[in-house]
Chain A
Amino acid sequence: MKRTPMNTRQVAKGDRAFFGISSAASFFTLALVFLVLIFLSFRSWTTFAEQGIKFVTGSTWDNTTNPGTFQILPMIVGTVLISMVGLAIAVPASVSVAYFIEYMAPPRISKIATSLIDLLAALPSVVIGLWGMMVLVPQASEWSGLLTQHLGFIPFFRNTSGNTLGSPFMAGWTVAIMIIPIITSVSREVMSRVDKELISASTALGGTNFSTMRRVVIPTAKSGILGGILLGLGRALGETVAIFFVLNLIFDTNWYHILEPRGGSIPSLIVAKFGETTPSELSALMAAGVVLFIVTLIVNMIATSIVQRSEKRMAS
């Protein structure tokens, strides 16, 4: 290749183009987030106008009347409830596994487990859904029955419907299995960045494994783990196909009876109703999508700022 010397004007021009292209890509990406909100709000405007605040506080879904009644409170509550059940199972399990891989397992096992967890974190949710429906549900339905039978006096576990399938408990389990690898992967990464000399120092000063964990590992890794949990929460809130098959959609708000097959979730609602809809119902589904997006956006922004702050602190 023949190189000709360039004069400064050419240099400036080329670099301006370089800067221009990368800025254009960045502004396009920035714009995409807002475009998503604007377009969906635009398409769902009729719903927000017609249903008003009742859209998020009422619990009737009826497309036979004109205009239809579309209210999604049971779905909002269901989405949150399922995510909470999922987190309640996934968080202790994930943090324990991360601790095991990082501090207890022999190096060989911990290396294999790390790769495996990273792979499982990318496991397609439809595969989890398939497993949930075919393998987990028969088992978990039994556990659900046992919980009602022995712990039914606690309001959480009461189930008067006589049916153990399709409850938020089932969906929560499925979601938990999906987000365990995600939270574990992040927590392990954060734990591996805890200064090894701090740990050695703690042990040398006579600390036990437990006190080292409590006074050194957890305080240092806390915000990173929290970021991982919120990442998992974001996934759980938006999860669609993994829980679609194991959850009943019933427009009856289920605040905390996790074993009763009532309620639903926003993404499941969208998938279930999307196929054959009236135009006004479609607009209502878009509106449900907007609500879901805003919720996950908030969760994710909190997660991002927590993780960024912890990274800054770790760097300094």
Chain B
Amino acid sequence: MATLESLPRPNGGVTPWKVRSRSVSIIIVLASAIPAAITFGIQKALQVPGPIALLLIFLPIQLVSSWIAAAATRGRRGIADASLNVVVLFATTFVSIMLGSVLYSVINWGLKAISPHFIYQNNVYVTTTTSLDYGGAGHALLGSFLVVGLATVVAVPLGIAVAVYLTETRGRFRSPVRFFAQAMSGLPSIVSGLFIYAVFMASGISRPAGWLASAALVLLMLPTIIRMSEEVLKLVPGDLRSAALALGAPQRRAFFLVIFPAAKTGLITAILLGLARVVGETAPLLVTTRVNANTNVNPFSGDISTLPTYIFSYLTAGFDTGNARAWAAALMLLSVVAMIFAATRMLSNQK
């Protein structure tokens, strides 16, 4: 079927409907520049506070000027479009500044405090007066890997098995399972931590330890893995399944030899998204683990630090080098998340 995009187009990329005459361009530039200039002038002259100037002076003037410009170039029909453009651009600029500020602060403050030894040293000899030349979050990075790794080892087979149940079998409970797996994605992370506390710690089975945190993270990871894996498995063409079964393969062989290989990259992406979801979780770790200045390689016993709880503990402490350490650890955490995302991008581009 010919879509609009595939229809023949004039040669040389000529798009006559996009050509703008010079006078129109000038009007657009003026319509954007004048309100900014007026606002700047009023703001300087009357010393109006910035946010008020932006919302109550700039935005209305910009709206009116865009209406005038639109009416001049496209007639009355352009006025609604002009408002749409102004409002959307205003909101987008606002969001870009806010989110840009988050990224900028983490990178800026983080780079100031981070150094090679920060990534591998632990916190044993660090006090409130220790300079940033000593100590680091290496133990917390290792702790995060252990806790999240353990959670992944449990959640991935479980999640994929559920996705297989949802897509490959004709089990009778598919729709309730799907519904509750989705409902679980709304489980507040603190409640997941409390649940693990109620089961294992309040009953005296275990002291705070890494594996309890992993258990809490499994609950948070499962819904993501289930949903993503289900979508990936659904994308495998039904013909492949039928062909494998028609050749006499038992269902499990059809799955492991045909469907699973076809869906492999997608499943890895699902796992990575699950990882990204939990690697920065803090609340359940606060309930189930205690921070430790020393390196602990055993997630099954003893206090263990993770990057999120490391950041949290320095935030509650509230002293200058502590804050710097928190920023540096935040940069490390952000880099881990960014690496996970780069990996998912690379995988999905490979196909």
Tell yes or no: B302 within 8 A of A by CB.
Answer: no
Tell yes or no: A67 within 8 A of B by CB.
Answer: no
Complex: A35 Cα to B187 Cα, angstroms: 13
A15 touches B191 (CB 8 A): no
B88 touches A96 (CB 8 A): yes
Contact mask for chain A residues 83-101; partner B; CB cutoff 8 A; 1 contact, 0 none: 0000000001110110110
Interface residue total, chain A, C-beta cutoff 8 A: 91
A300-B162 in contact given A36-B191, A125-B282 (Cβ < 8 Å) = no
Give chain A residues whose Cβ lies under 8 Å from the Cβ of B173.
Answer: 23, 26-27, 30
Contact mask for chain A residues 1-35; partner B; CB cutoff 8 A; 1 contact, 0 none: 00000100001001101110111111111101101
Tell yes or no: B125 within 8 A of A by CB.
Answer: no
A241-B99 in contact given A15-B250, A122-B276, A211-B80 (Cβ < 8 Å) = no
Q: Name which residue of chain B comes closest to A118, CB basis.
A: B341
Tell yes or no: B121 within 8 A of A by CB.
Answer: no
Residues of B103-146 whose CB lies within 8 A of A: 103, 105-106, 109
**Residue from A181, A197, A267 in contact with B99 in the complex, judged by beta carbons closer than 8 Å:** A181
A240-B188 in contact given A22-B169, A297-B183, A304-B183 (Cβ < 8 Å) = yes
Tell yes or no: A158 within 8 A of B by CB.
Answer: no
Give chain B residues whose Cβ lies under 8 Å from the Cβ of A301.
Answer: 179, 183, 186
Tell yes or no: B297 within 8 A of A by CB.
Answer: no
A43 touches B77 (CB 8 A): no
A299-B186 in contact given A26-B177, A130-B326 (Cβ < 8 Å) = yes
B161 touches A25 (CB 8 A): yes
Tell yes or no: B85 within 8 A of A by CB.
Answer: yes
Complex: A303 Cα to B182 Cα, angstroms: 9
B180 touches A29 (CB 8 A): yes
Tell yes or no: A150 within 8 A of B by CB.
Answer: yes
Give chain B residues whose Cβ lies under 8 Å from the Cβ of A100.
Answer: 88-89, 91-92
Tell yes or no: A314 within 8 A of B by CB.
Answer: no
Complex: A17 Cα to B186 Cα, angstroms: 32
Q: Name which residue of chain B comes closest to A296, CB basis.
A: B186
Give chain A residues whose Cβ lies under 8 Å from the Cβ of B273.
Answer: 122
- Contacts between chains A and B (CB distance < 8 A), count: 267
B88 touches A21 (CB 8 A): no
- Shortest CB-to-CB span from B160 to chain A, Å, is 8
A289-B250 in contact given A115-B345, A130-B327 (Cβ < 8 Å) = no
A293 touches B101 (CB 8 A): no
User: By CB atoms of chain A within 10 A, which of B88, B194, B323 has the most?
Assistant: B194
Complex: A177 Cα to B330 Cα, angstroms: 17
B252 touches A300 (CB 8 A): no
- Shortest CB-to-CB span from B63 to chain A, Å, is 14
**Residue from A120, A209, A286, A293 in contact with B84 in the complex, judged by beta carbons closer than 8 Å:** A209
- Shortest CB-to-CB span from A140 to chain B, Å, is 10
Instruction: Please report whether the interface of chain B is mostly helix, strand, loop or mixed according to DSSP.
Output: helix
Complex: A13 Cα to B247 Cα, angstroms: 19
B177 touches A30 (CB 8 A): yes
Q: Name which residue of chain A comes closest to B170, CB basis.
A: A19
**Residue from B80, B184, B222, B282 in contact with A124 in the complex, judged by beta carbons closer than 8 Å:** B282
**Residue from B51, B78, B283, B345 in contact with A146 in the complex, judged by beta carbons closer than 8 Å:** B51
Complex: A213 Cα to B80 Cα, angstroms: 11
A134 touches B323 (CB 8 A): yes
Contact mask for chain B residues 158-184; partner A; CB cutoff 8 A; 1 contact, 0 none: 100110111011010100110111111
Complex: A116 Cα to B104 Cα, angstroms: 13
Give chain A residues whose Cβ lies under 8 Å from the Cβ of B338.
Answer: 119
Q: Name which residue of chain B comes closest to A303, CB basis.
A: B186
- Shortest CB-to-CB span from B54 to chain A, Å, is 11
Tell yes or no: B33 within 8 A of A by CB.
Answer: no
B165 touches A208 (CB 8 A): no
For this complex, 24 residue pairs linking A to B, each with C-beta atoms less than 8 Å apart, are: A15-B250, A22-B164, A24-B161, A26-B162, A26-B165, A29-B177, A40-B195, A40-B198, A96-B91, A119-B337, A124-B308, A125-B281, A125-B282, A127-B106, A127-B330, A130-B326, A135-B105, A146-B52, A150-B52, A208-B77, A238-B190, A267-B283, A270-B194, A296-B186
13 more A-B contacts (CB under 8 A) besides A21-B161, A238-B189? A22-B168, A27-B173, A29-B162, A30-B181, A42-B198, A123-B337, A197-B3, A200-B4, A209-B85, A240-B282, A267-B190, A296-B187, A301-B179
> Which 4 pairs from chain A and chain B are nearest by CB?
A124-B280, A238-B188, A300-B186, A96-B91
Q: State the B residues within 8 Å of A (CB).
A: 3-5, 49, 51-52, 77-78, 80-81, 83-85, 87-92, 94-95, 98-99, 101-103, 105-106, 109, 157-158, 161-162, 164-166, 168-169, 171, 173, 176-177, 179-192, 194-195, 198-199, 202, 219, 222, 226, 250-253, 255, 273, 276-277, 279-283, 286-287, 308, 311-312, 315, 323, 326-327, 330, 333-334, 337-338, 340-341, 345
